[in-house]
Amino acid sequence: MSQSELTREVARRVFASEFNDSTYTFKESDDERAPNFALLPTGDRANRVFIVGTLTETEDVGEDSEYWRGRVVDPTGTFFVYAGQYQPEAASILRETEPPAYVSVVGKPRTYETEDGSVNVSVRPESIAVVDAATRDRWVVETAERTLDRIEAFEEWEAEQEAPESASTAPTNEYAQMAREQYDSPVVNYRNDVIQALEQLEEQEADATA
């Protein structure tokens, strides 16, 4: 445990559509301070994410004190980012930035249950920065690549599961297994989102050079 506490958790790259489906959270030890993970449906764990998108709307939804909500849009959907008094720097960026603007957000996945019983996933930011269009495009490509890698690993694991003769030597993919147990949504959906995101970039580029 001491070792993993010293190691900084990596910031996963994940599109909004997949992030918002990551409703199952878990810890890997009983330690009070053990990190919390959201389970990505493509079969990985995320304690931290790095997202880049268009900040389209900000609103102070706090009652007694300031509590800012920002909508950050990527090609597949919308991230909800909430910053309050314990995230003063992120909150001040949301307060002061005039949408629309490209922003990057480093933060932790948080889940909460709504009154009707569904689970919403949001981002609690560690930092928010205003960035340029090139950074946003680079993030889309990078996130597409990381997502495809996860899908590939998931499908390899799935194929091994279905081939009984190789069952004993099947590579373990702990989080793919967990995702299959916890979620209904097939991973091919996320592949389609990746394609859609990349096609948008390509069109954009074609428009720019036309």
Interface ranges with another protein (CB under 8 A): 8-13, 50, 52, 103-104, 106, 126-127, 129-132, 134-135, 137-146, 148, 151-152, 155, 191, 194-195, 198-199, 201-202, 205
Report CA-CA distances (Å) from 121 to 13, 23, 205: 15, 6, 32
Of 113 and 174, which has the nearer Cβ to another protein?
Answer: 174
Of 104 and 111, which has the nearer Cβ to another protein?
Answer: 104
Which two tokens mark 44? Answer: 């990985």
Of 24 and 190, which has the nearer Cβ to another protein?
Answer: 190
Chain center to CA of 91 = 20
Burial class (CB in 10 A: 0-12, 13-18, 19+), 109: buried
Of 73 and 119, which has the nearer Cβ to another protein?
Answer: 73
| Cβ at position 8, least distance to another protein in Å | 4
| Cβ at position 201, least distance to another protein in Å | 4
Residues facing 129 on adjacent strands: 104
Report CA-CA distances (Å) from 14 to 66, 71, 94, 141, 158: 28, 16, 21, 11, 21
| Cβ at position 33, least distance to another protein in Å | 18
Query: 37 in helix, strand or coil?
Result: strand
| Cβ at position 171, least distance to another protein in Å | 18
CB 147: neighbour CB atoms within 10 A? Answer: 26
Q: What is the largest CA-CA distance in the chain?
A: 62
Of 34 and 201, which has the nearer Cβ to another protein?
Answer: 201
| Cβ at position 10, least distance to another protein in Å | 5
